[in-house]
Amino acid sequence: MHATIHGERTLTELDFARLNKLPRLNLPPSLADLLDCAEVTSSRAVPGNIVTMCSRVGIVDTHTRRRQTLTISYPEEARPAAGLISVLSPVGTSLLGLKVGDTARWQAPNGEACAAEIAAILFQPEATGDYTT
């Protein structure tokens, strides 16, 4: 069960710093790869169409066309039943740093390949002037 890192990714300096504080031994390889390869920008400069930590995103499954709303959260705040998914989960890692219109790809626990298009960013902390969440 893992996420596949495709294309360019953008992280804010704050997200990058906080994620780098997580124990590296517990990080999924795909998140470690993302931290190694992502473009890092200031929270004030990140475009509003980029998925950052604590962003609420609308996604559309590319196979079933099912729509879903998810919020990317830190592990201790994750509540999957409420739509708060951990950045350590395959879907969380696959969404982080992408932009509206991009397709996130990950592998489900049963081994099934999953993909979803980012249809909208419904909330991004930085877009509201919150540079510390």
Note the pLDDT tens digit of each residue in 28-80: 888 999 999 999 999 999 999 999 999 999 999 999 999 999 999 999 999 99
Best CA proximity match to 27, nearest among 71, 86, 84, 111: 86
Coil, strand or helix at 11: strand
CATH code 3.40.50.300 for 3-126: no
What's the rounded mean pLDDT across residues 8-21?
95
Q: Give the tokens for residue 33.
A: 């790869």
Coil, strand or helix at 25: helix
What are the extents of the domains in the chain?
A: 3-126
| Residues of the chain above pLDDT 70, percent | 95
Which residues are 117's β-sheet partners?
A: 60, 103
Average pLDDT of the chain to the nearest whole number: 91
Best CA proximity match to 109, nearest among 83, 91, 87, 94: 91
Distance of CA 112 to the CA centre of its chain: 19
- Name the pTM for this structure: 0.90
